[in-house]
C-alpha cells in the first residue's frame, strides 16, 4: 500500500513537471513556476534527486526569463550541485550552460565563458552533438557580446553545421538569426538578409511566431535603408 502511494506521488511529480514545461513553452511563466515548485516539493519529500535537479534547472530557466537573475543563478547552482553529487555528466553540462546564460545576462562575461567551455568539454566527452551545437552557439553569443565578431561568426557557423547535420531546425534557425546580426554589424547587409530570410522560413515551418516577428523586424530595418 505504501509503495503504491509512493508510486502515485512519483507520478504526480512527473506530471506537475510536464505541465510546467508546457506552460513555460506557452510563455505562461507564473503557472510554469507553480508547477515546477509542486513537482519539486514532492521530489524532495521522496528524495528523487534526478527529479529535483530537473525542477531546479527548470525553475532557473523560468526565473531567467522573468529577469530574476539572482534566483536563476541560485536554482542552477542547486541543480549543478545535485548533478555533481550523483555524477550525472549530462546534467552538469546542461547546468554549466544555463549558468553561462545567466552570467551573460548579468554582464559577468568572464564567468560566462568559463561555464560555456566547461559545458562544451563535457558534451564533447559524451559525444553529444546537440549539446556541442548549443554551447558553440552560446560561445557565439559570448564573443558577440564581447565585441569579437570574427570569433562569434566562427562559433555560430560551427553550431549551424552540426544542427544542419542532425536536423535540429530550431537550432538552425537560431544560428541563422544570430549570423544575420553579425553580418549586419559588419556592414554585409546582403548576407544578413540571406540568413534572416532562412531563419524566418524555418521559424514559420516549426511554428514559433514570436521568433518570426523578431527576425522580420530586423529584416525590415535593413530593407528600409
How far apart, in whole angstroms, are the C-alpha atoms of residue 75 and residue 5?
Answer: 29
Task: Please tell me the predicted confidence (pLDDT) of residue 122.
Answer: 98
Cα 109 from chain centroid (whole Å)? 17
Which domains does the chain carry?
1-118 (1.25.40.10), 128-225 (1.25.40.10)
Would you state the pLDDT for residue 5?
Answer: 55
Walk along the chain (225 residues) and give the pLDDT tens digit of each residue. Answer: 344 455 688 888 889 999 999 999 888 999 999 999 999 999 999 999 999 999 999 999 999 999 999 999 999 999 999 999 999 999 999 999 999 999 999 999 999 999 999 999 999 999 999 999 999 999 999 999 999 999 999 999 999 999 999 999 999 999 999 999 999 999 999 999 999 999 999 999 998 888 999 999 999 888 765
Which three three-digit cell numbers place residue 174? 537560431
Here the contacts of 216-223 (C-beta below 8 Å, separation 24 or greater) are: 218/177, 218/180, 218/181, 218/184, 219/193, 222/184, 222/189, 222/192, 222/193, 223/193
Cα torsion 24, 95, 170, 144: sign: positive
**Model pLDDT, residue 154:** 98
Tally of CA atoms within 13 A in the half-sphere of 202 that contains its CB:
20
Q: Please report the pLDDT score of residue 153 as a whole number.
A: 98
Tell me the CA end-to-end span of the chain in Å, nearest whole number: 71
Q: What is the pLDDT, as a whole number, of residue 225?
A: 59
Helix 89-105 / helix 129-145 crossing angle, nearest 10 deg: 20
Amino acid at each position: 500500500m505504501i509503495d503504491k502511494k509512493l508510486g502515485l506521488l512519483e507520478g504526480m511529480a512527473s506530471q506537475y513537471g510536464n505541465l510546467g514545461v508546457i506552460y513555460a513553452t506557452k510563455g505562461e511563466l507564473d503557472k510554469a513556476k507553480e508547477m515546477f515548485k509542486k513537482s519539486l516539493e514532492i521530489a524532495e519529500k521522496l528524495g528523487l534527486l534526478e527529479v529535483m535537479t530537473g525542477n531546479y534547472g527548470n525553475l532557473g530557466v523560468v526565473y531567467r526569463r522573468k529577469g530574476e537573475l539572482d534566483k536563476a543563478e541560485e536554482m542552477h547552482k542547486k541543480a549543478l550541485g545535485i548533478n555533481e553529487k550523483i555524477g550525472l555528466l549530462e546534467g552538469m553540462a546542461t547546468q554549466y550552460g544555463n549558468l553561462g546564460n545567466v552570467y551573460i545576462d548579468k554582464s559577468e562575461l568572464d564567468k560566462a565563458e568559463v561555464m560555456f567551455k566547461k559545458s562544451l568539454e563535457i558534451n564533447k566527452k559524451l559525444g553529444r552533438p546537440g549539446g556541442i551545437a548549443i554551447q558553440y552557439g552560446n560561445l557565439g553569443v559570448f564573443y558577440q557580446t564581447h565585441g569579437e565578431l570574427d570569433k562569434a561568426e566562427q562559433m555560430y557557423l560551427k553550431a549551424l553545421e552540426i544542427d544542419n547535420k542532425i536536423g535540429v531546425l530550431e537550432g538552425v534557425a537560431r544560428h541563422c538569426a544570430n549570423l544575420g546580426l553579425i553580418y549586419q554589424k559588419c556592414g554585409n547587409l546582403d548576407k544578413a538578409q540571406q540568413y534572416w530570410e532562412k531563419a524566418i522560413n524555418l521559424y514559420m515551418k516549426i511554428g514559433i511566431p514570436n521568433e518570426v516577428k523578431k527576425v522580420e523586424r530586423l529584416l525590415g530595418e535593413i530593407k528600409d535603408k
